[in-house]
Chains A and B, each alone.
Chain A
Amino acid sequence: MNPRAGFWRRLSRMRVATAGLAVFVVILAGSLCAGFFASAPPNEINLDAALARPSLHHPFGTDPFGRDVLSRVLYGARISLGVGFLARTISLVIGLFLGALAGYFGGRIDSILMRLADITFAYPTLLLLIAIIAVVSPGMVSLFVTLGVVGWASVARLVRAQVLSVKEREYVQAARASGASHPAILFRHIVPQCLAPVFVVYTLGLGMTIMAEASLSFLGLGVQPPAPSWGGMISSGIAFLRTAPWLTFFPGLFLTLTVCSLNLIGDGIRDALNPRLAPAFAKSMIVAAGRAADAAEGSR
């Protein structure tokens, strides 16, 4: 039987991952069809309806400008997901390229790139993001570029390890013997073999990236108002926590559901690719294995 069918079967058998996928699809659909669900555009000000409680007309209530919170939450999903996907794709491209180079050529390129990765890992992620965005001006573009660039290191490390394990295989040696060029060997024969775990890291990182985006927007360093972003909406809801808690509640709920569903999907894909590992324990083992590998590497 084709192994990919086994993957999908295993994935669909995981009820939790399937539930995550379902929730994510609903959120995605809601954001894509935001115009259909929302009673008003996200930035339409209507001071007569300011701070209205959740009702049939405004299911999530309205904010101090009378803007429909549901509408802003749904359009905010577009921003969160969009920034998340863009940033992860940037990380993926940079990480894939540099990680492949490091693993394939080894030597000085490898040690320079991996020390760079170590330095990136030396910062708690949010703090590095804050330090960078505080000096470049905050905004949507600097947001996803920074998120993308900062995320390169984990992808690169993973790809490097994969390349190392694949590059001595027989078919690679055959390609080399038949005179294929380095780029051809690397990107046609080796990299495609490394993509499955990269896909897992992409999905798992997506949740974290969306969370980071929301945290930065919450601190005023991300998406700038009046563009609706979940982090920004929660932040501006603080002043009305006592009188209008729905301003903070709904964007946070959607943020939590999105991140949670992406994490579940990522866990599910990982387990479906590697059925021997049990979910939560696997995470700790991956961390432990990473540490052990670092320790071993440091001795060289």
Chain B
Amino acid sequence: MRTFVLKRLLLLVPILLGVATLTFVLMYIVPGDPVRAIAGERYDEETLVRMRAELGLDRPLVVQYVDFLGRLARFDLGDSFVTRRPVTEGIRERFPRTLVLALSAMAIAIVCGIAIGVLAAWGAHPVLSRILMTVSLVGVSMPVFWLGLLLIYLFAIKLRVLPPSGYGGGSIRNLILPALTLSFASMATIARVTRSGFIDALGEDYVRTARAKGLGERVILSKHVMRNALIPVLTIVGADFGSYLSGSVLTESIFGWPGLGRFVVQAILKRDFPVIQGAVLFMAVLFVLVNLAIDLSYGAIDPRIRSEGGER
């Protein structure tokens, strides 16, 4: 197990370096001249030269790259073109709000998804389970931003039970709709996977053995079926983490939730490149780390993966 963990950690180094490099490339090469973006409409050659020197953009590319990596190592993502405040400050302020939103959504997705999946697998109510599965089939394909607007229309405009948007100082009432929106696609996938995992596990020999041993139905379900049916669910939760981050960009901009996703969208509108790149880099690193954590926990749950990865 230890070599497995070590090797995964080592693999992290080139990936993180690659992500940093790609972000650097995007930030410094593609825009052509970021100085023009900062200076806006009213610039003359002199100001441009001065600003370029100020930002260190007149140095050779390699020097800039090394400097960029050095600053990254100190968690310095540069300053916003617009507010002139450090990008890290903005991230530190907004990230907790995105985290609250994403974790609530994840909790909703896991709890409701598994519940729906089990209910449908049970098949006690065939019509209900067919409806649930159809909804989850469509749910996977529903665009987050459209679903969010439908929920706003239904709950905020027609029924008037929940606020349409805003942070509301982080109150639960303001959290419900965005969290539900963000959770939906993942919930639908989890429901489908749980259902088929359950149905498959119920047909396995070890379940028949357990029945033959005379174990109670409850023990069989919780000890034998659940555990095996839920391994794929863990994978889905991990694989969907990226969609929570991507989804937060869309969800937050619909609901006016002042998190990281909205930070990015507002930066795009203002062409505030350091903020865009900084926030995207932050989320990419987060994504990489979460995937690593999922891989490791996967190794912990399923010994086959561990040995496959560890002993060669």
Contacts and interface: CB of A to CB of B under 8 A. Distances in A.
Contacts of B7: 298-299
A34 B276 CA distance: 38
Contact of B299 (A115, A119, A249, A295): A295
A218 B11 CA distance: 36
A131 B232 contact: no
Contacts of B11: 298
Contact of B312 (A124, A125, A294, A299): A299
Contact of B276 (A118, A134, A291): A134
Nearest to A293: B308
A211 B143 contact: yes
B243 interface: yes
Contacts of B308: 292, 295-296
Contacts of A218: 143, 145, 250
A127 B288 CA distance: 13
Nearest to B138: A260
B193 A256 contact: no
B273 interface: yes
Contact of B196 (A16, A215, A278, A291): A278
Interface string B115-151: 0000000000000000000000110111111100110
Contacts of B150: 248-249, 252
Contact of A124 (B141, B231, B246): B246
Contacts of B138: 256, 260
A288 B14 CA distance: 23
Interface residues of A, number: 60
A238 B236 contact: no
A94 interface: no
B283 interface: yes
Nearest to B284: A123
B149 A287 contact: no
A28 interface: no
A131 B23 contact: yes
B253 A219 contact: yes
Interface in B247-276: 249-250, 253-254, 264-265, 267-269, 271, 273, 276
Nearest to A267: B137
Interface string B133-175: 0000110111111100110110001000000000000000000
A131 B149 contact: no
A234 B8 contact: no
Contacts of A278: 196, 200
Interface residues of B, number: 76
A130 B196 contact: no
Contacts of A125: 242, 246
A257 B212 CA distance: 46
A285 interface: yes
Contacts of B3: 299
Contact of B140 (A132, A215, A263, A300): A263
Interface string A228-267: 0001001101100110010011001001100110011000
Given A123-B280, A299-B312, A252 B149 contact: yes
A290 to B, nearest CB: 9
Given A124-B245, A131-B277, A215 B284 contact: no
Q: Which of A122, A128, A241, A279 has the most CB of B within 10 A?
A: A122
A52 B235 CA distance: 47
B178 interface: no
Interface stretch (B24-32, B48-56, B64-72, B73-81): B24-32
A53 to B, nearest CB: 15
Interface in A88-121: 115-116, 118-119
Contacts of A47: none
A127 B246 contact: yes
Given A219-B253, A245-B153, A124 B284 contact: yes
Q: Max chain A CB contacts within 10 Å: which of B141, B200, B269, B310?
A: B141
A178 interface: no
B107 interface: no
A299 B309 contact: yes
B35 interface: no
Contacts of B195: 280
A54 interface: no
A263 B185 CA distance: 13
B18 interface: yes
A238 B149 contact: yes
Interface in B268-312: 268-269, 271, 273, 276-277, 280, 283-284, 287-288, 294-295, 298-299, 304-305, 308-312
B154 to A, nearest CB: 10
Interface of A: 16, 115-116, 118-119, 122-128, 130-132, 134-136, 207, 211, 214-215, 218-221, 231, 234-235, 237-238, 241-242, 245, 248-249, 252, 255-256, 259-260, 263-264, 278-281, 283-285, 287-288, 291-292, 294-296, 298-300
Interface of B: 3-4, 7-8, 10-11, 14-15, 18-19, 22-23, 26-27, 30-31, 137-138, 140-146, 149-150, 152-153, 157, 189, 192-193, 195-197, 200, 231-233, 235-236, 239, 242-243, 245-246, 249-250, 253-254, 264-265, 267-269, 271, 273, 276-277, 280, 283-284, 287-288, 294-295, 298-299, 304-305, 308-312
Given A127-B283, A241-B152, A241-B157, 5 more contacts: A135-B26, A249-B150, A260-B138, A280-B195, A287-B235
**What 8 pairs between A and B have smallest CB-CB spacing?**
A252-B146, A284-B232, A126-B246, A119-B18, A260-B141, A124-B242, A295-B309, A280-B192
